[in-house]
Chain A
Amino acid sequence: MDLLEFAVNYGEELGADFIEVRGENIRRMYIHFEKDVVKNVENINWRGIGITAIFRGARGYAFTTKLDKNSVREAVKNAVEIAKASTKLAGLSAEPIEYKPNEYTGKTPSIRKHPKDYSLEDKIDIALSGVREVLSSEVISLRTIYGEYWGQKFFLNSEGLKRSWDPIMVGLFYAVVVRKDGNIGNGREQMSASMGLELFDEHRPEEIAKTALRGARETLEAKVLESGKYPFIASPEFSGVLAHESFGHLTEGDYVATGASILAGRIGEQLGSEHVYIYDSGDPVNYGFWVPYDDEGVDAKKVTLLDKGVLVGYLQARSTAKILNMKPTGNARAINYRFPPIVRMRNTYFGPGDASKEEIFEMIEKGVYAEGHAGGQTEDTGNFTFAANRAYWVENGEIKYPLKSVVVRGHILDFLKNIIGASKEVIVKTSILGGCGKGGQAPLPVGLGGPYLAVREAIISFGR
């Protein structure tokens, strides 16, 4: 905190209109396994300070990993200089809107088994219990990754706003390759949360690994259908990737303020069916990523984006809120001290409906069910392409057989209008491996999720 105060004072001395300084000491550790052998342990320590300076509406950002007064002074000088050099180009002001500090009102995770209190061997054992469950002669490759992320974050700005909190996450990932009669099948599964190692008491590594194995076996017998339009069911994870990638990004204040988003100026419009609610919250819900404050020190409260299908909000940093004359929402985030905060999501999810999971499946007479996601892409016109991790043919509410390499594409607004039902159960998950990649800052931990969604029709293609 002393260095932070020093930086704020020096920045003001150099003539900056506003200064904010973030410090962090984050540990990330990954254990990589090939079958039952530990292949490597990555032990990463992010220690650094990042400084944002605002001068006549222009922003400059600089950072340093050297934590002495001289290096911090140099970084502050750079930040202020860049801000000054950018005043001509920066037509849109980066000035922060007024913010009356609120405390975070969500739950702070109670960590029963903090990873810092457990040895490397303990963590290896947790991961191996899943490995042993599935290893057999049919498995030709099994990749396992255990990961953890924890530490402290500090924040101070020239308005005197002070914050500090301790982010945390643990996770486990299995990727299985099986061979049968010369054919190869792939499966993967991961479980992560802003929890301690108690996560793996609740979600046994054996079960996570078995799900990955099941996926691999299923791809061997998976069928390929004619590409085209099909009635569709999205699992909570698949819903989540759509909520985040294809919808959430369009509500980000920087894209809205610059007019780059197709949702700019459309507050109050009916964009989805009445079954559609989309939220973004710093609260992890169940297995999401905990964000009490954003990297501008703003409390990360729950924001409603779509309410009964109507667009009611955007995600904001203090600067975008000022441009759009709205309230800051606590969505300014940076992956680490090397990057300035930009408008990012936290936990983005479809809200619950009133159907049971069974009822959702019964809504689709014949169609495709996508379980989990295997990455995707979207562009700012609203078009998206997402692959399912596993997919199945459903008839009369029952899963009939697996489908091969299912890719769903279309336009998000068409998709939202076609949603005809949502389940009561909502699952939000984060990932120790993946995350959001906006602005080259990847992977920023986020949570994604939702209920089981029934969709009238979606454009689906199948792999060969």
Chain B
Amino acid sequence: MDLINLDELINIGLKVVEKAKEIGADELEIFLSSSDVFSMRAITNYVTTRRGLDAGVGIRAVVGKRVGFASASSISEEIILETAKNAVKIAKTRPEDPDFKHLPDPKKPSAKRGIYDEELVTKSSDELIKIASDSIKRGFDKSSAVKKIDYNLTKQVGVFAVVNSRGVEIGDSYTTIFSWASVKAERNGETVTAYEIFSSRRFEEEPLLTVSEKAAERALRMFGGKKLEKAFTGQAVIENFVVSDFLWPLTYNVNARNVQEKRSGFANKLNTKVANEKVTILDDGTLPEGLMTFTVDMEGIPMTKKTLIEKGVLKTFVYDSYTAFREGRESTGNAMRRSFENLPAPSTTNIVMKAMANKGAQELIMEIDKGVYIGGFTMGSHLTDPLKGTFSVTSLNAFYVENGDIKYPLKSVTAGGNFYELLRNILIVGSDYRLTSFGKIPSILVDKISFV
């Protein structure tokens, strides 16, 4: 399928933006996106594969201090114009928003082009289905105990553009590939399960081929699991790819919108200590391999690298243009949209935790006196109320650790605590970085987690 290119997309947008005054808009912004998605899911040998060309627009129309938004799943000029008229209609019925200043002005990005891998683009459905088959086979080959593999492979090639009546006319093309496998193994009546993920902006064959096998290795380690004998409070090593299950309230609390609306636990906490003084956390929209890296954000503002928490001190929030202008400052290039169907809103891009020691999960485990190594498969993390911060996360891939040694796998353990306390109780940030949609995150050693 032919994906429309960036210049064409910008041109379509310009044609409609030119008509802003004609349709009664003081300002007009058109976000256009188009993507070719290939996705396959195999529950062992029950296979569902789909491919399609998704395209759409999201339009902000400004009439005085009234802002309207409308979207449609089409990029035909006629439908875009009709959608723009709808956005104007919606704007006119809205009350004035005194906090709205204007749409963003153009700003030149430093990078010319984002992450676009020609090799990934050329991979056909046939080739991807072949990789999936091989990966699943390698998972089963690992051990006869492996009974089920649930496998997913998704490739996306896309382009988006932002065109507004203040002169923004920019966008980016991107490629991503994502795969996960969940494995169930059985031995002597005991069932264990584990999963593994891999995501990248470029085509990398070997990691795609080994996803199921790595998940199988993780599952096999779980045999002979016991229940925790007694509830206790102790240390935990959280493995890199599940750190986000504990730290995701960070993205909520640094969101300038949540801060301004006073529903962030970080409101009034700027330049105060919110984490252990050795902890430094960045939001880096320019990370060269980042899954959330684009030359510009979804309002057309260049993405940036910024320090959210420096040596434990909260340094900044993340802004889109609306929240930035409300405070008389500049956008930090953090306007994101879930899709063309949504208005831009502040969001973190790639969260990067600075390493405190040259250690991976295995070395961090050696630092534990009494605690648990949380090595994957969690449940309940999305139940955390990000404002209150209370969490209760159950892991099925955890191990009981004493005096630096893994003693035995745990059938299921629930780690309880509070996000704000967790930030203060981070003892060591490791260096075994892993790329996920949350960012680039190493394993961490934390204290004062309650286990049941």
Chain A positions within 8 Å of B, measured between CB atoms, are: 34, 37-48, 50, 58-66, 71, 74-75, 78-79, 81-82, 85-86, 88-92, 94, 119-121, 124, 140-141, 177, 184, 186, 227, 254-255, 257-260, 338-340, 342, 374-381, 383, 385, 387, 405, 407, 409, 439-440, 461, 463-464
CB atoms of B392 and A385 under 8 A apart: yes
Residue of B50, B97, B231 with highest tally of chain A CB at under 10 A: B50
Known A-B contacts A227-B452, A464-B390; A42 and B50 likewise in contact (beta carbons under 8 Å): no
Q: Does B73 contact A (CB under 8 A)?
A: yes
Instruction: State A409–B380 Cα separation when bound (angstroms).
Output: 10
Give Cα A124–Cα B66 distance, bound, in whole angstroms: 15
Closest Cβ of chain B: how far from A236's Cβ, in Å?
20
User: How far is A78 from B38 in the complex, measured between Cα atoms in Å?
Assistant: 11
How far, in whole Å, are A66 and B10 apart by their CA atoms in the complex?
18
Subset of 18 A-B contacts with CB under 8 Å:
A42-B341, A43-B71, A45-B83, A60-B49, A60-B51, A61-B48, A63-B50, A65-B74, A82-B50, A119-B93, A255-B43, A260-B148, A338-B50, A383-B396, A383-B412, A385-B414, A387-B383, A407-B383
Report the separation of the CA atoms of residues A60 and B362 in the bound assembly, to the nearest whole angstrom: 43
Q: Is B226 an interface residue, CB under 8 A from the partner?
A: no
Stretch of B124-132, B247-255, B312-320 with 4 or more beta carbons under 8 angstroms from chain A: B124-132
Q: Establish whether residues B50 and A61, one from each chain, have CB atoms under 8 Å apart when the complex forms.
A: yes
Chain B 376-410 against A: per-residue CB contact (8 Å), 1 yes, 0 no?
Answer: 00011011010110101010100000000000000
Chain A residue nearest to B53 in the complex (CB): A64
Q: A38-B94, A46-B73, A407-B383 are in contact. Are A66 and B53 (CB under 8 A)?
A: yes
Q: Which residues of B contact A85 (CB under 8 A)?
A: 125-126, 129
- Cβ of B143 under 8 Å from chain A: no
Known: A46-B73, A65-B73, A254-B46. A405 touches B385 (CB 8 A): yes
Q: Are B380 and A377 in contact (CB under 8 A)?
A: yes
Residues of A within 8 A of B129 (CB): 82, 85-86, 89
Q: Which residues of B have CB within 8 Å of A61?
A: 48-51
- Of B69, B262, B394, B418, the residue contacting A464 (CB under 8 A) is B418
A378 to B261, CA, bound (A): 33
Distance in angstroms from B383 CB to nearest chain A CB is 5
- Docked complex: B286-305 residues within 8 A CB-CB of A: none
Q: How far is the CB of B95 from chain A (nearest CB, A)?
A: 6
> B436 contacts the other chain (Cβ, under 8 Å)?
no
- What are the residues of chain A within 8 A of B263 when measuring CB–CB? 140-141, 177
Interface contacts beyond A376-B383, A405-B390, A461-B392: sample of 8 additional A-B pairs, CB < 8 Å, sorted by A: A41-B70, A64-B53, A120-B93, A379-B193, A405-B388, A439-B48, A461-B452, A463-B388
Q: Does chain A have a CB within 8 A of B133?
A: yes
The residue in chain A whose Cβ has the minimal distance to the Cβ of B341 is: A44
A157 to B48, CA, bound (A): 18
Q: Which 10 A-B pairs have the closest CB atoms?
A: A91-B45, A63-B52, A61-B50, A43-B70, A463-B390, A385-B380, A90-B47, A377-B379, A92-B46, A45-B72
Q: Does B77 contact A (CB under 8 A)?
A: no
B379–A379 touching, CB < 8 Å: yes
B262's contact among A43, A66, A78, A140, by CB below 8 Å, is which?
A140
B396 and A40: CB pair below 8 A? no
B71 touches A141 (CB 8 A): no
The interface residues of chain A lying within 8 Å CB-to-CB of B117 are: none
**Do the beta carbons of A34 and B261 come within 8 Å of each other?**
yes
Which residues 24-59 in B have Cβ within 8 Å of A in the complex? 37, 39-56
Contact of A258 with B45 in the complex, beta carbons under 8 Å: yes
Contacts of B150 in A (CB 8 A): 260
With A120-B90, A140-B262, A439-B48 known as contacts, the answer to whether A82 contacts B125 (CB < 8 A) is yes
Give A379 to B52 CA distance when docked, in angstroms: 30
CB-CB under 8 A for A461 and B72, given A376-B383, A377-B382: no
- Cβ-based interface call for B371 (8 A): no
- Complex Cα distance, B392 from A71, in Å, reads 48
Taking CB atoms, residues of chain A closer than 8 Å to B379 are 377-379, 383, 385
Chain A residue nearest to B192 in the complex (CB): A381
The smallest C-beta distance from B8 to any residue of chain A, in angstroms, reads 14
Indicate if the CB atoms of B52 and A338 lie closer than 8 Å: yes
Q: How far is the CB of B413 from chain A (nearest CB, A)?
A: 12
User: Does B343 interact with chain A (Cβ within 8 Å)?
Assistant: yes
Q: Of residues 120 to 147 in B, which have CB atoms within 8 Å of A's CB atoms?
A: 125-126, 129, 132-133, 136, 147
Convert B137-179 into 0s and 1s, putting 1 for each residue whose CB lies closer than 8 angstroms to a CB of A. 0000000000110100000000000000000000000000000
CA distance A62 to B193 in the complex (A): 32
Chain B residues, CB < 8 A from A38: 94-95
Whether the pair A43, B69 counts as a contact (CB closer than 8 A) is: yes
Cβ of B184 within 8 Å of any chain A Cβ, yes or no, is: yes
Contact check, B95 vs A37: say whether CB atoms are below 8 A apart: yes
Chain A residues closer than 8 Å to B72, beta-carbon distance: 44-45, 47
Q: Give complex CA distance A254, B46 in Å.
A: 8
Complex contact A42–B69 (CB within 8 A):
yes
Known: A186-B387, A377-B382. A37 touches B49 (CB 8 A): no
Query: Which listed residue (B94, B125, B383) contacts A377, Cβ 8 A?
Result: B383
Contact status A89-B387, CB under 8 Å: no
Q: Which residues of B contact A81 (CB under 8 A)?
A: 125
Q: Which residues of B contact A63 (CB under 8 A)?
A: 50, 52-54
- Residue B216, interface by CB 8 Å: no
CB <8 Å contact, A42 and B71: yes
Q: Closest CB-CB distance, B29 to chain A, in whole Å?
A: 13
- Assess whether A43 is in contact with B90, with CB atoms less than 8 Å apart: yes
In the complex the two chains form, what is the Cα distance from A40 to B95 in whole Å?
10
Judging by beta carbons under 8 Å apart, are A184 and B452 in contact? no
Considering only CB atoms, which chain A residue lies closest to B379 in the complex? A377
Q: Does B425 contact A (CB under 8 A)?
A: no
Query: Do B1 and A74 have beta carbons less than 8 Å apart?
Result: yes
B208 close to chain A: CB less than 8 A: no
Are B50 and A62 closer than 8 Å at their CB atoms?
yes
- Contacts A38-B95, A377-B382; A66 near B47 (Cβ below 8 A): no
Q: Which residue of B lies closest to A259 (CB)?
A: B148
Q: Are A59 and B48 in contact (CB under 8 A)?
A: yes
